[in-house]
Chains A and B, each alone.
Chain A
Amino acid sequence: MMIDSILRNDKGKSSFLGKIDPRIKIIVFFLMVILVVSSPGDNWILYACFLAILLILMILGKLSIAYIFKRSLVMIPFVLIMALFLPFQARTGEFYTFLGMNISRSGLIMFYNVLIKAWLAISSMIILSSTTPFPALISGLEKFKLPGIMIDLMSFMYRYIFVLLDEAHRIENARRSRFFGGRFFSEVRVFGNIIGVLFVRSFERGERVYKSMVSRGYNGQTILLNPHTITATDIIFLISSLLVLALVKLWSLL
């Protein structure tokens, strides 16, 4: 299953990028996304620079461009909605006629600029998430002083997603093998009951997990082991990426 393989995300784990400390990767990739999003539009050389950086990161992460492209398709719905509204963008200036609709030049420029920026940003996030297993990402984020409760919630959620997805699939299979379709309302009722059953099971699991944790000494403080230590390779990667990003940024300001 696609979801399962993305959730486990160990595709690029053994690559160079996979061995870099998660904290360093968080700094570099978050900075990259912010720079892409805040870059002035319609600067093709700047876009080419970002694309080159992405390609280098892709090679360092042993990821194929086809894989990145396939996963970046999650942004398609939004792009489609935006394209749908494009003819309604009443702007002055030149107009093009496409399939009998008037599309303004400025609207079109904005459309492909947003599209390029969105794709560059999403691709950097895909590289980050494909080379960093989620638990490592959480332990990295913890070092940036995120509220403790959010770290705990994310860890628990990640731990139980697999269990609950399996549970949901089992219930869904049971439904499909017994229920042969009916009128809309009866079908919706069955769905409501399924969600209800899933809720009860999740709730009971939550209570059970809490009790077993308390009996092992849990008092609300989660101590995460941080197996990561920053090595010389990490420092070199950090400095060189910051240098490249700073150069690109400075150059775009000129």
Chain B
Amino acid sequence: MHIPDGFLDLPIIITLSVVSAGTIFYASKKTDKYIGEKRIPLMGIMAAFIFAVQMLNIPIPGGTSGHITGALLVAILLGPFTGFLVMSTVLILQCLIFQEGGLTALGVNIFNMGFIGALGGYLIYRTLKKIFRSGKGKISPPAVFIAALLSTVLAALACSIELSISGIFPFKASAISMTLAHSIIGSIEGVITVIVLGFLKKVRPDLMEIEKV
């Protein structure tokens, strides 16, 4: 879903870059206020962790393989704004070193994968947790799964909307196929996120209780 340069129209680029930059600014202030400098090395290492996780290929039945983004995982473990900053850092580095995602499309990519993926995913997770009435400090596997699935599909949908406004994709065909393809990708993200959280709950329950910002 890393959109390259040259695909997007100027109004979309400007609007979403302003949203992304504003959120980065707000998230920096917020993490600075609540956790201070304490977590900067940790967040940087977490960004490297996400990068390494995205390199691990998970075999999918049918002969292909995929990888997870880890956006929701970091957001649930360290908090939504930390998760957003970590994802933004990963995207900036991928753009500058690997040219995955264009320079002018960077703000849009941060919006899709950081804003919707981490912040949006976390919001869905919290809402679902309230609906399912799962207690504080507990993980609710269905909530995690649905949040991962929904945030992945929403990010893909946002991507196809942005590209169809720019006149690159026809809206209907791309929205349908992107939603279908990403519901599979999102399910895998959901299953893996549930397993990782369950594993961590078992071996390091203390990690679940760290302050989330």
Binding site for B on A (CB under 8 A): 3, 6-7, 9, 30, 33-34, 36-38, 71-72, 74-75, 78, 81-82, 85, 88-90, 110, 114, 117-118, 120-122, 125-126, 129, 134, 137, 147, 149-150, 152-161, 163-165, 167-168, 172, 184, 187-189, 191-200, 202-203, 205-207, 209-210, 213, 218-221
Determine which residue in B10, B44, B168 has the highest number of CB atoms from chain A within 10 A of its CB, and name it. Answer: B44
Nearest Cβ on chain B to A75's Cβ, whole angstroms: 4
In the complex where A33-B5, A209-B45, A213-B41 touch, is A195 in contact with B56 (Cβ < 8 A)? yes
Q: Which of B70-127 contact A (CB under 8 A)?
A: 70, 73, 77, 85-86, 88-90, 92-93, 95-100, 102-104
Q: Are A188 and B41 in contact (CB under 8 A)?
A: no
- The closest CB in chain B to the CB of A189 belongs to B195
Looking at the complex, which of B29-37, B130-138, B147-155 is the stretch in contact with chain A?
B29-37
Nearest Cβ on chain B to A206's Cβ, whole angstroms: 3
The majority secondary structure among interface residues of chain B is helix
Whether B11 is near chain A, meaning CB under 8 Å from some CB there, is no
Q: Are B99 and A154 in contact (CB under 8 A)?
A: no
The CA-CA distance from A221 to B37 in the complex, in Å, is: 8
Can you report 27 A-B residue pairs in the complex whose CB atoms are below 8 A from each other?
Answer: A3-B55, A6-B98, A7-B97, A34-B104, A71-B99, A72-B99, A75-B4, A85-B174, A114-B7, A120-B6, A125-B99, A125-B103, A149-B28, A157-B51, A164-B49, A191-B58, A192-B194, A192-B196, A195-B68, A195-B73, A198-B49, A199-B73, A206-B46, A209-B41, A210-B41, A219-B37, A220-B36
- The closest CB in chain B to the CB of A205 belongs to B45
- The closest CB in chain B to the CB of A115 belongs to B6
Q: Are B170 and A88 in contact (CB under 8 A)?
A: yes
Q: Are B7 and A150 in contact (CB under 8 A)?
A: no
Nearest Cβ on chain B to A189's Cβ, whole angstroms: 6
Chain A proximity mask over B43-76: 1 for CB below 8 Å, otherwise 0:
1111111011101101111000000101001000
Whether B165 is near chain A, meaning CB under 8 Å from some CB there, is no
Q: Are A199 and B99 in contact (CB under 8 A)?
A: no
Nearest Cβ on chain A to B166's Cβ, whole angstroms: 9
The CA-CA distance from A172 to B29 in the complex, in Å, is: 38
Nearest Cβ on chain A to B200's Cβ, whole angstroms: 5
Q: Are B6 and A117 in contact (CB under 8 A)?
A: yes
Number of A-B contacts (CB under 8 A): 232
- Which residues of chain A have C-beta atoms less than 8 A from B10's C-beta? 38
Q: Are A168 and B52 in contact (CB under 8 A)?
A: yes
Determine which residue in B28, B36, B37, B172 has the highest number of CB atoms from chain A within 10 A of its CB, and name it. Answer: B37
The CA-CA distance from A76 to B37 in the complex, in Å, is: 40
Contact of A121 among B102, B172, B199 (CB under 8 A): B102
In the complex where A122-B4, A191-B56 touch, is A220 in contact with B40 (Cβ < 8 A)? yes
In the complex where A147-B28, A153-B44, A191-B56 touch, is A89 in contact with B97 (Cβ < 8 A)? no
The CA-CA distance from A50 to B196 in the complex, in Å, is: 48
Q: Are A114 and B168 in contact (CB under 8 A)?
A: yes
- Which residues of chain B have C-beta atoms less than 8 A from A122's C-beta? 4-5, 99, 102
- Which residues of chain B have C-beta atoms less than 8 A from A172's C-beta? 56
The CA-CA distance from A66 to B169 in the complex, in Å, is: 30
Nearest Cβ on chain B to A49's Cβ, whole angstroms: 16
Q: Are B6 and A37 in contact (CB under 8 A)?
A: yes
- Which residues of chain A have C-beta atoms less than 8 A from B198's C-beta? 192
Determine which residue in B7, B39, B192 has the highest number of CB atoms from chain A within 10 A of its CB, and name it. Answer: B7
Nearest Cβ on chain A to B81's Cβ, whole angstroms: 11
- Which residues of chain B have C-beta atoms less than 8 A from A168's C-beta? 52-53, 55-56
